[in-house]
Structure 1
Amino acid sequence: MACALHLLCPGRVRVAHINHQLQAPATQWANWLAAQCQQWQIPCTVQAVAVAPGNIEAQARKARYQALFHLLQNDEILVLGHHQQDQAETIFLRLMSGSGVKGLSAMQVLEHRKTKWLWRPLLDCSRQQITELAALICPDYIDDPANQQANFDRVFLRQQVWPLLKTRWPAMDSTLNRTALLMQDSHEILQEVLAQDWLQCGDQNALDIQQVKLLGQPRQRLLLSRWMQGAEQYAPAFHLVEQVRQTLLDARQDATPRIEWQGWQFRRYQHQVYRLPQQLEKAQDMQIFWPPEQILELPTGQWQWQPQKSGFASQLMTQPLVLQARRGGEVMHVQGRAGHWPLKKCLQEAKIPPWQREQVHLLYAGAQLLGVFTAQGFWCNQMQDLVQDGWLPCLVSSTLNFKKATQQHEI
């Protein structure tokens, strides 16, 4: 295919070969390809990758695409040689894994991934057509021996399943390709529905349970699956989506169920279900010097001293201060309340989620409690002496606890 493209677009094609280093002659094959490209006067880049342990087919594919995307420049299109039988095999394998409409959409001729474009111009061509063309252009082409190892799922299909099925349905490759096109149409329609539901029910961090429950179960599953996936490459398994739907959406308001997947945790609080990093920062005791120009990063967010009509004297910012995690039993005089109140009760009544209560810091100057850092802002201890035109800690950004969760992703 590289040679054919070079003939059509001379000077605008280059070859990238990924050496998975999984077979003894892999380096020899890379050298052969480099020599062949030199003969054709096509630039060639060979990139070796390390394939992670596990499912060797899946891990090799993941390593291959990561390397290809890294090599791909902004003004280039990645052209892949997938053909009609590749597409049919993909549909069959995804059917066996229980995939939905998106999975059965299989591969697209033109595909946009983030800022990169993929083009598969041979999806309508049969394997036999490509083999015949390869034999004409390059009679000594190399056929990967792995294509004959039946322990790989695709090879098992080609050797054992495909010949049997084609005796009954000779045109099955083209028929399955048509199924992929119909599934791609269906997926596009579902994406339009999903965009409407997403806008109605929340954002990438949290969903409104009452709004989600207004949807039928199929739309609930579609929304939850995409919401849980976030920027991950693959959607969560069906049973996990159902677990979130049944356990979190229908839990008692005072219950605190937690479901984990792929480094994320899904939790319910009040009338919302949250998508959070599995590991959240917690408050830690520390002593600090905090000048007015410095940004202080805490689990609750980014903080900075700012002038206020009423606040602490400026001398406070020149002395050592102590940040302390909650011990339990703390009481303080919060603005708007008469007398002293347990901090725990104040946090509950402010409807601060349990995981954010673990991020709360108490600010001390010596033995004096100055106030509390919360995700909603700084709560000043009204028992302290405040001065006119003083200084108070202000929350500059409250996104730290959602740093990973707020990565942008397309619906």
Structure 2
Amino acid sequence: MSLHAKLLKRLAPWRNANTWRIAFSGGLDSTVLLHLLAHLAKTESLPALSAIHVHHGLQAAADAWPEHCRSVCDALGVPLEVVRVQVQPGASLERAARDARYGAFIDATHANDVLLTAQHRDDQAETLLFRLLRGAGVRGLSGMPGERVLGQGHLLRPLLEVTRAELEAYAALHQLSWIEDPSNEDRQFSRNYLRHQVFPVLTERWPQAQATMARSAAHLREAQGLLDELAQIDRVEAGSRSDFDWLGLPSLDLAVLEKLSAARQRNVLSYWLKIRTRLPDSDHWSGWEDLRDATGDARPIWRLAEGELHRASGRIWWLSGPWLRTPPVAGRWADPTLPLALLDNGQLSMTGQVPDGPLHIRYREGGEIMSLPERGHRDLKRLLNERGVPLFARGRLPLLYCGEQLLAVAGLQGLNGSVRDGWNLHWQPPTEDQGLS
């Protein structure tokens, strides 16, 4: 089967997309992909083609690459967008450059768009070996997925079944020109070391090494799919409703998780958390064990890259964004007939007859007393204990005051208004959209 036919077959499910955008570095692989698609577009009804070139600014030679990419795209009649990014300094230049590059791809990928990248079978084998040497688990060893969500659209890797030799042969046949990145020869980068130092030795002894390693990655993707199916079953079981779903926070029933084996606990937590944060490696899961095994009066927290797991009210809760910041003092509510936006703490509104007097919003400091019909004066801490309010939420419950009198606690039925006077205080807690992306 020709490269054109392989590519068309691989992309068949995506022909209703708005745009096929090629990630075009100007190197051999992406040049072949661009050329293949541009020529297919002459005989096939395809989505609109465009290309995007990300300029990292990491080496002087790269300054000439956007112009080369533009000339190639102009010759093929494909629009090109050049995006300049700032690579953040860090321990791994490879990773920082990748993060910057994919950040640009995410920004460029809109609803029903497809971003096409040119990784091939040899890249897949390199990825498997690279991750194996880093001690990756099944998910990591399953290699690069052929497709995944990216931004509001999808990322596809349609050449994963094609070898580098096939791409080189195509480029030679069509007399294509491409950029040779000098950094690809630098052995200090792990992937370059594997490509130039390790794989030649492996393939000399085992000529089909790359093919068999790519096949192993496919087997591991299948195994990961089964693990994900099991995790989904466990997540549904542990995701039962709670009295505090109105907080809008992801949570799981701890008692359900504790019935699972340690391996199944890690599996379902990894599945649940992977869309929320970068996960620690297998040697750094002691934070989960400390959270799970803490005594009843403890307040354990497992801090992860993009948020925290808290244990409260028999559940574990994911907190991120504004939930990790202490809301500042709110102050006077000048017009309670209008909603009040609370900095880092959502929004308040009131229904019914507005109470008389100047109204203020405060947060707990300790020692608050509330007067309740038929119960007299009650300590707020005790009232919150009675309702089992999670500790992490108590300090951000908006309290409505008239002078020094505590009138209502937003969000808690029976404490959030006055049945006699016919008014209620409503709180919409903060969402992640208000904080970290």
Q: TM-score range by the shorter chain?
A: 0.7 to 0.9
Amino acid at match of 1:141: W
**Corresponding position: 1:286 with 2:331:** yes
Query: Residue 191 of structure 1: CA displacement?
Result: 1.7
**Corresponding position: 1:395 with 2:426:** yes
Q: CA 1:138 to 1:391, structure 2 compared with 1: closer, same or farther past 3 Å?
A: farther
Query: Residue 69 of structure 1: CA displacement?
Result: 3.3
**1:42 matched to which residue of 2?**
78
Query: Residue 299 of structure 1: CA displacement?
Result: 6.6
Q: State percent identity of aligned pairs.
A: 29
**1:256 matched to which residue of 2?**
299
Query: Residue 58 of structure 1: CA displacement?
Result: 1.1
**1:310 matched to which residue of 2?**
none
Question: Given the two structures, how large is their TM-score scaled by the length of structure 1?
Answer: 0.85
Give the unaligned 5+ runs of structure 1: 308-312
Query: Residue 173 of structure 1: CA displacement?
Result: 0.4
Query: Residue 154 of structure 1: CA displacement?
Result: 0.5
**2:7 matched to which residue of 1?**
none
Amino acid at match of 1:332: M
**Corresponding position: 1:122 with 2:140:** no
Amino acid at match of 1:213: E
Distance 1:256 1:266 in 2: 11
**Corresponding position: 1:16 with 2:22:** no
**Contact 2:106/2:150 (CA < 8 Å) preserved in 1?**
no
**Contact 2:410/2:427 (CA < 8 Å) preserved in 1?**
no
Query: Residue 88 of structure 1: CA displacement?
Result: 0.6
1:268 to 308, 311, 315: 311
Distance 1:395 1:387 in 2: 14
**1:90 matched to which residue of 2?**
127
Distance 2:340 2:396 in 1: 17
Greater shift, 8-17 or 86-95, is seen at 8-17
Query: Residue 205 of structure 1: CA displacement?
Result: 1.5
Write out per-residue CA displacement over residues 112-161 of structure 1, whole angstroms, 9 at most, x where no aligned residue.
44642333232222222222322332354221111101111101111222
1:80 to 117, 131, 152: 117
Distance 2:179 2:167 in 1: 13
Give the unaligned 5+ runs of structure 2: 1-31, 241-248
**2:235 matched to which residue of 1?**
198
SS in 1 for 2:293: coil
Q: How do residues 360-371 of structure 1 correspond to structure 2 at under 5 angstroms?
A: 360-367=397-404, 369-371=405-407
**2:210 matched to which residue of 1?**
173
Distance 1:284 1:403 in 2: 20
Write out per-residue CA displacement over residues 193-215 of structure 1, whole angstroms, 9 at most, x where no aligned residue.
11111110027621111100111
**1:345 matched to which residue of 2?**
382
**2:257 matched to which residue of 1?**
212
Write out per-residue CA displacement over residues 58-91 of structure 1, whole angstroms, 9 at most, x where no aligned residue.
1211222222233345454322211111101111
SS in 2 for 1:341: strand
Counting matched residue pairs gives 390
Amino acid at match of 1:333: S
Distance 1:72 1:137 in 2: 30
**Contact 1:304/1:395 (CA < 8 Å) preserved in 2?**
yes
Write out per-residue CA displacement over residues 368-409 of structure 1, whole angstroms, 9 at most, x where no aligned residue.
x1423244257269xxxx795x34232253x32x5459999x
SS in 2 for 1:333: strand
Aligned-CA RMSD value: 2.9
